[in-house]
Amino acid sequence: MSTSSDRARLLRRSLQTDGIASGLCGVVLLVDARPISVLIGLADLSVDRLVGAPLVLYAAALLWNAARAEVSRGGAVAGVAAAVLLFLVLEVVGLNRLSEAAGWGARTERWPPRTIGSRRPPRGPR
């Protein structure tokens, strides 16, 4: 077997595995939202459904790409990158809401903090 066919087979299997796992998670979030919401401490079921529905769509796109005669590498990378970006945004929004709800102080500073990537080290207690 050639290296390119091995790579294509690995990509196809990876897309199938990710598609199946994402689809199962999405379906569980849609069908059985109440126990999961209770388990993770959410009072509102809409959060589970808002995460579950895009997961099912994402899984369908992955499985469709894996079933094509020639797998689109660019499409696979773009799809995974879009999903990672979406979850990054959801994490930042969730962390900000959690910190406000927990009363960890007024949110006067930016998130992420300006110290990330700045040239000056943060000031510590003296």
- pLDDT for residue 27 is more than 70: yes
- For residues 26-45, give the mean pLDDT: 84
Give the integer Cα–Cα distance in Å for 26 and 21: 9
Query: Residue 4's pLDDT band (boundaries 50, 70, 90)?
Result: confident
Instruction: Tell me the pLDDT of the chain averaged across its residues.
Output: 79
For residues 47 and 37, the answer to whether their CB atoms sit within 8 Å is yes
The per-residue pLDDT for range 60-99, each reduced to its tens digit, is 998 998 888 888 888 888 888 888 888 888 788 777 777 7
Residues of the chain with pLDDT > 90, as a percent, come to 16
Q: Could you tell me the residue ranges of all domains in the chain?
A: 3-102
Give the integer Cα–Cα distance in Å for 60 and 122: 45
DSSP helix/strand/coil, 107: coil
